[in-house]
Amino acid sequence: MNTTWSRFNITSITLGFAFLYLPIVLLVVFSFNESKLVTVWGGFSTKWYVSLFHNQGLMDAAWVTIRVGLISATVATVLGTMGALALTRYTRFRGRVLFSGMIFAPLVMPDVITGLSLLLLFVAIGMDRGMTTVILAHITFTMCFVAVVVQSRLVSFDRSLEEAAMDLGAPPVKTFFQITLPVILPAIVSGWMLAFTLSLDDLVIASFASGPGATTLPMKIYSQVRLGVTPEINAACTLLIAIVTIGVIIASVANKRREVQRQLDERAAQRG
């Protein structure tokens, strides 16, 4: 295959990535601004990070957000993986069309609708709004993303491995944990990370589902942004970006290593 990478291709990619990254880079740069103005450079300073750590409201919100993210991502990963297994392994069961509809619809459903409907549910069943309701709401919409990610891995999974294990007498549950799980683990890990960042990120659904006392970081950032743009918010955003970027890079490096190892193993197995 002739892959001529023309000047046009290079230009469009360069411009595209500039468009994607320039706003984020500017945001990060201005978080180190000495001046209180976000758009006029007044020299390098880390004072906004210091004031950030003394801002009790923001710190509390960050702690709530992290707890919500960890719990909801973990439960969503379990439920989403089950959903993915149900979709790929059981092609016939009653209500499968509805099931796959309920998995795919939340991916594109506008947040305002999901948020409003969940809030009305919580009110209808008389549940006090707070961290628990935010967690339940986040599990619901992130599990669908996990299901899609895991499903795409399961589709290309070589089922003869499972059949071999079962033929040799491994019970289904053991087969799952010893054969299937290790193979789909990278997808499960990236599903978890996706669920965690989506939860970390969500403003609209959390605003509907949350009650007094459970303010998440995006809710806090949003209410401060409405009052005006400050370098402190830039600093908070920069920290969030840094955490996510490091996480993604670690995950992708680990993934690549595993992939290389797998290829080496396969080659060794073929020779042996």
Give me the residues paired with residue 83 across strands: none
Nearer to other proteins, 18 or 185 (CB): 18
Q: What token pair was written down for 105?
A: 């619809």
Nearer to other proteins, 59 or 237 (CB): 237
Nearer to other proteins, 12 or 263 (CB): 12
CB 165 within 8 A of CB 195: no
Nearer to other proteins, 101 or 213 (CB): 101
CB 172 within 8 A of CB 111: no
CB of 197 to other proteins, least distance (A): 5
Q: At what angle do helices 181-201 and 231-271 cross, to 10 degrees?
A: 170
Nearer to other proteins, 6 or 270 (CB): 6
DSSP code at position 203: -
Q: Where are the alpha helices (DSSP H) in the chain?
A: 7-30, 47-54, 56-89, 96-108, 111-124, 131-155, 160-167, 172-175, 181-201, 204-209, 217-227, 231-271
Q: What token pair was written down for 33?
A: 């601004």
CB of 107 to other proteins, least distance (A): 8
